[in-house]
Amino acid sequence: MLYPMSSELIELEEQARPYRALYDHWERTQWAVGALDFSTDARSFAALSEETQRGVVWIFAHRFHAEFNVARLLAPFLEAAPGYELQLLLATQVADEHRHLQAVLRIYQEVFGVEGGFEGVRELADRNRDPVAESLYAALEQRVLALKDSPDEDTFLQAVFSYHLVGEGVVARTAQNLAVGQYERLGEFPGLIEGQRLVARDEARHIGIGVSYVRGRIAEDGDRARAAIDDCLEQFGQLAAQGLELGKAGLEDVLATGYGADADAFHAEAMRLLQLRLRSIGY
């Protein structure tokens, strides 16, 4: 089962729109982490077998590191953004990512029963890291931190493509699409499902930022923009092939428990979404 996409989310992710419209959407769709109710989720989690609990916690190790890393990596975007309106949008995204991280912390504490605050959660999440995620995070960090030394328009384009369209639009959305069906199969998890719906709406807007910016760059100078994107695609293709190989070699059990899918299914969904993102930017 894939994540049920509303027409609003589809439009945000697949159609370029003015930056002001994306900012107005952010103002209209504010939500509070504290309003989410995880009491039913905590009871459902406690009723799971130890093996299934480990699979769910493994999913959220990915979620924790994804949100923590992207929140940390947004500062170079703000400094290199070409224009106030785009800088304003990226500033809203900083707030979004920290809100998502706060939601993950609440889930660890209130659903999984993890103590020790942020450091306790981070320690558990670190124990559940895997080599596929490690390689993706390292590649994303490389693309974004390049902006500190080379804040030119081509480096910015590659950072936006890698971060907004591949990181959020392919990798994160693949995990969301597969995980939501797993929650429903395992029991009653209304807080997790509602939280994921709200996060997905925010991330659809983030993907929309990438679509609008990259599509504009292709319209301005298609050959130059495509050359910059090609370099990112080559790197991602290599990482995807390595990830498929590593998944088959040692992660099939935890993928099945955590996502209800195997490495081939995860890879196939990622490739489907990559093609969708490329069509959205007119590549």
Residue with tokens 């999913």: 59
Residue with tokens 């009871």: 43
Whether 224 contacts 154, CB under 8 Å: yes
Q: How many residues does the chain have?
A: 283
Structure tokens at 177: 């699409």
Average pLDDT over residues 243-265: 73
Query: With a threshold of 0.85, does the pTM exceed it?
Result: yes
Q: Which amino acid is at 105?
A: L
Domains of the chain, by residue range, sit at: 37-280
**Nearest C-alpha neighbor of 268 from the set 137, 160, 177, 163:** 177
Distance of CA 222 to the CA centre of its chain: 27
Q: Which amino acid is at 69?
A: N
The architecture of the domain spanning 37-280 is Orthogonal Bundle (1.10)
Distance of CA 279 to the CA centre of its chain: 19
The predicted-structure confidence for 75-94, as pLDDT tens digits, reads as follows 899 999 999 999 999 999 99
Residue with tokens 């390049």: 146
CA count, 13 A, side-chain hemisphere, 192? 27
CA distances from 53 to 49, 94, 136, 185, 216 (A): 6, 31, 25, 13, 45
Mean pLDDT value across the chain: 89
CA distances from 67 to 31, 61, 105, 117, 191 (A): 17, 10, 10, 16, 18
**pLDDT exceeds cutoff 60 at 3:** no
What does the pLDDT read at residue 14?
87
% of the chain with per-residue pLDDT over 70: 96
Residue with tokens 């979004």: 96
What does the pLDDT read at residue 58?
83
